[in-house]
């Protein structure tokens, strides 16, 4: 048990399971086989099979979580690299991400209130459509549970990457800006990986939308709570 309580254990386990997830995803090329989702399942299974306390894994897992916050700053780099696209379509990006963020937050709030869900759960689910570091910061600041928020963000991202191409065809959305903004503002980084596959411009717009969606979600979340 002393070995598993070492922070290195959690870091190595996370790294190995993620690499396995990447290899499985590349081999089968299925959107539902997301590397992060696979890593999550493998970690849970490993801890349960070998009766390792979750607290032991967190010794290293918390170090990885801590790095999510500075990693968020990297989003600014992607926005800077796509500044030409941003200048050309800034109105569509701002309006699209603003409406998308408001729709995401209001739907969770209204549905949660209608179903009489407790305030902490609503707060945890509210930032589900933004990237994990931002979502965790928003959740904890308004009284939510970070663990539940992470699960909600993961599910939202996976579902977005799966259904985005289908919805684009269903609603006959032709413009790459509209496609990218829709994907990025609803399903953050996981959806963006799929957007990149659909096209370079779509992926770029989706990447830009992640940053703006995060900004709008921070503002709107404070208004709701």
Q: What is the pLDDT of residue 13?
A: 93
Note the residue count of the chain: 225
Q: What is the pLDDT of residue 189?
A: 81
Band of pLDDT at residue 182, cut at 50, 70 and 90: very high
Sequential DSSP letters for 169-223: HHTT---HHHHHHHHHHHHHHHHHHHHHHH-HHHHHHHHHHHHHHHHHHHHHHHH
Least confident window among 11-15, 59-63, 74-78: 74-78
Closest CA to 126 of 213, 34, 17: 213
Q: What is the mean pLDDT of residues 209-219?
A: 92
- pTM here is 0.79
Band of pLDDT at residue 46, cut at 50, 70 and 90: very high
171 pLDDT higher than 70: yes
Q: What percent of the chain has pLDDT over 90?
A: 48
Q: For the segment 84-135, what is each residue's pLDDT rounded down to a tens digit?
A: 888 889 999 999 999 999 999 999 999 999 999 999 999 999 999 998 888 9
Q: What is the pLDDT of residue 94?
A: 94
Tell me the pLDDT of the chain averaged across its residues.
88
Assess contact for 22 and 69: CB atoms under 8 A.
no
- Residues 162-175 as b/e (b if ≥16 CB within 10 A, e otherwise) read bbbbeebeeeeeee
Q: For the segment 50-72, what is each residue's pLDDT rounded down to a tens digit?
A: 999 888 898 887 888 777 767 66
């Amino acid at each position: 048990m002393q070995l598993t309580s070492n922070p290195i254990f959690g870091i190595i386990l996370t790294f190995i399971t993620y690499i396995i997830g990447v290899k499985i995803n590349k081999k089968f090329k299925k959107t539902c086989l997301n590397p992060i989702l696979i890593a999550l399942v493998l970690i849970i299974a490993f801890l349960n099979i070998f009766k390792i306390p979750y607290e032991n894994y967190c010794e290293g897992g918390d170090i990885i979580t801590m790095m999510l916050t500075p990693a968020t700053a990297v989003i600014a780099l992607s926005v800077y690299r796509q500044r030409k696209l941003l200048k050309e379509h800034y109105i569509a990006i701002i309006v699209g991400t603003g409406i998308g963020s408001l729709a995401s937050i209001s739907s969770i709030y209204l549905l949660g209130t209608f179903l009489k869900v407790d305030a902490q759960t609503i707060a945890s689910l509210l930032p589900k459509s933004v990237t994990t570091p931002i979502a965790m910061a928003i959740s904890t600041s308004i009284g939510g549970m970070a663990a539940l928020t992470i699960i909600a963000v993961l599910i939202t991202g996976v579902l977005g990457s799966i259904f985005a191409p289908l919805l684009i065809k269903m609603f006959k959305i032709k413009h790459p800006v509209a496609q990218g903004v829709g994907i990025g503002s609803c399903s953050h980084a996981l959806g963006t990986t799929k957007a990149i596959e659909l096209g370079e411009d779509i992926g770029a717009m989706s990447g830009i939308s992640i940053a703006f969606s995060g900004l709008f979600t921070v503002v709107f979340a404070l208004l709701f709570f």
